[in-house]
Amino acid sequence: MFIQTWLLPFLLLVTAAIIAFPLSRYMAWIMDGKYRPLPFLGWIEKKLDSGPQNWKQYTVSLLIFNIVLMIFGFLVLALQQWLPLNPDGKIMLSPTTIFHSVISFSTNTDLQHYAGDQHLSNFSQIFFGISNLFISAAIGLCALTAIIRALRSDSSLGNFFHDIWRVMIYMFVPVALAFSILFISQGSPMTMQSSYKVATLEPAAMGTTDKGEVKKQIIVVGPVAAFESMKMLGTNGGGFFGMNSAHPFENPTGLSNFFNTLAMMIFPFALVLMYGRMLGRRRHGIVVFTVMLILMAGTVLWSVYFDTLKPNPAFTSHNARSYDIPSASAPGGKHVVTIPAMPGLPVDQHQGNLEGKEMRFGTSAGATFAALTTDVTCGAVNAEADSLNPIAALAPMTGMWLNSIFGGKGVGMINMLLYIIFAIFLAGMMVGRTPEYLGKKIGAREMKLATIAILIHPLMILMPSGLFAATNWGLQAISNSGAHGLSQIVYQFSSASANNGSAFDGLNMVYGFYNNPSPAPTAIPWDIAAGIVMLISRFIPIIAPIAMAAFLGSKKSSPFGLGTLRDDTLTFGVLLFGTVIIIGALLFLPVAALGPLAEHLGPIPFGG
């Protein structure tokens, strides 16, 4: 049982860490422009390179590129019914769903308020879906590269358009091709066919028509392997099918599940080490990498222990209990609530909570994936997140709340840079010395920008969560009342703000096609609110750190002295770890107590 439970997470962490070292060297080689492109690729690069850019020009180019990307995506989805590769005649989604989806995919969030197999044609899956899987992931990596150049005090931050070409052509395309071939070998479809109609083994299993004719089963296919590879490598997370990586076409076998999970880890791991390499401070990169790895291991251990090694409390017996609730109108000032005893169900749970799990992957695969997919802000799922034991659900929520445990391409390291600045600032204040990072003094301007960037995240989670929890927008969408309903709402906005994309799927918020006669009653406010959150939480935490790095890099370097805090030691690692945990707890512990902790400790079916 021990090996069956822990072998998969151990192999994933070790394998990803080993791959990260050579991959980071290759990535630094590419982004520093030390390679020699093939002649025709070099000609394209020269055309794309419009010249060196300062931080403002680089940021404006990034934003304009995103605007164009969003406009193109909106047109593809809005014109879907008239575009090719649509033999099933899928029509336009509702306008608010298009608004939400365009923002979601262009910000590398991929939070889906639709099911790809039901609502999108193959044309949309390719030119809206797959194109965004490459481009949106590259944008975050480009932002990190610009920050590194600024911190190095380079004369310019490079050129955004040249950088995004480098990332997609020399990093993403070759690796995605290799993983696509692997997924095809495991059974993922790779075809331009949209669907097949097949007769079922059991006659009339799909029902009959009004004329009494036997209905055939419709099996949706398409370029699934190509979609799946970049979905995971780009930590995008949005699925070709509604069931995402739990679907047997996206993730057919235990081996494909291992490589699915590994794929979403290798670039975020390598980027942290690339950060150290490009700065010329490899030991500093390794210290930051170690802090992130410890945090990730903690979330995985938590998730697996409380979900794979613990039964689902809904199926176990519970004794009668009483609770005293303060009440001014009750005798003695207390109202007694009695919870009757409940017998357990005859369900064998020696392998833990199996609700919503795909057993072809192994018992701990669902809990492991749930923690890792939020740590690297991927958002793909191979099990039902809404079915995690309440206390186990804290692991994926923590990954999104901290938003710096490796994170997505570039943005995870950018978020950790903010914590680094805070850690050094706090240490400097404690010893009465001006804080310094990379030999540059951290001033009020840098701290203001870091504070803005780090506080946007909790604001974009807690404010809309409170609004929706207090109104019918949220109350009509949740499938469970009480603490779990709050967790569903908080998880949705946490996922949107963290550029994650996973969800507690009990929420009823799908509109579907524009002519749907019975959409979810609150689909429109959910589409709009989540879209706004994704926009703000994507770009402010990118723009503010770029500006911060530019201002910091423009300062003169101070000589290293006895009082200088070294950033490549065990002491610094402990300081950084403590800063992340303390700030994260201060920001999110109250909502954790009202959601998953309250559900775990509260009345049956969950609790002690």
Examine the pLDDT at 235 and tell me if it is beyond 80.
yes
- Residue 65, class by beta-carbon neighbours within 10 Å (0-12 exposed, 13-18 middle, 19+ buried)? middle
331-373 residue pLDDT tens:
777 877 777 777 877 877 888 888 889 989 989 999 999 999 9
* pLDDT band, very low/low/confident/very high, at 608 (cuts 50, 70, 90): very low
Q: Which letter, b or e, does each residue of 49-59 get, where b requires 16 or more Cβ atoms within 10 Å of its Cβ?
A: eeeebebebbb
Question: What pLDDT is stored for residue 607 in this prediction?
Answer: 43
In angstroms, rounded to a whole number, what is the distance separating the alpha carbons of residues 584 and 601?
A: 22
Taking alpha carbons only, the member of 212, 190, 133, 152 closest to residue 409 is 133
- Residue 430, class by beta-carbon neighbours within 10 Å (0-12 exposed, 13-18 middle, 19+ buried)? exposed
116-133 residue pLDDT tens:
999 999 999 999 999 999
Question: What pLDDT is stored for residue 558 in this prediction?
Answer: 80
Taking alpha carbons only, the member of 474, 438, 376 closest to residue 565 is 438
Q: Which residues contact 234 (CB under 8 A, 6 or more apart)?
A: 108, 133, 134, 136, 137, 172, 267, 409
**What mean pLDDT do residues 255-269 have?**
97
Is 384 in contact with 540 (CB distance < 8 Å)? no
Return the structure tokens found at 515. Answer: 């002519």
Length of the chain (residues): 608
Is 372 in contact with 264 (CB distance < 8 Å)? yes
Return the structure tokens found at 419. Answer: 């914590």
**What mean pLDDT do residues 241-248 have?**
94
| End-to-end CA separation in angstroms for the chain | 24
DSSP element (H, E) containing 197: strand 195-198
Is 264 in contact with 378 (CB distance < 8 Å)? yes
Return the structure tokens found at 24. Answer: 């980071």
280-332 residue pLDDT tens:
999 999 999 999 999 999 999 999 999 999 988 878 877 777 777 777 777 77
Residues 552, 555, 558, 563, CA torsion sign: negative
The half-sphere exposure of 284 on its side-chain side, counting CA atoms within 13 A, is: 17
* pLDDT band, very low/low/confident/very high, at 500 (cuts 50, 70, 90): very high
Question: What pLDDT is stored for residue 604 in this prediction?
Answer: 52
Is 149 in contact with 163 (CB distance < 8 Å)? no
Which whole-number Å values give the CA distances from 174 to 171, 226, 233, 275, in the listed order? Answer: 6, 12, 11, 22
3-state secondary structure 216-277: CEEEECCCHHHHHHHHHHCCCCCCCCCCHHHCCCCCCCHHHHHHHHHHHHHHHHHHHHHHHH
In angstroms, rounded to a whole number, what is the distance separating the alpha carbons of residues 341 and 98?
A: 48
Residues 276, 279, 281, 284, CA torsion sign: negative
Is 261 in contact with 380 (CB distance < 8 Å)? no
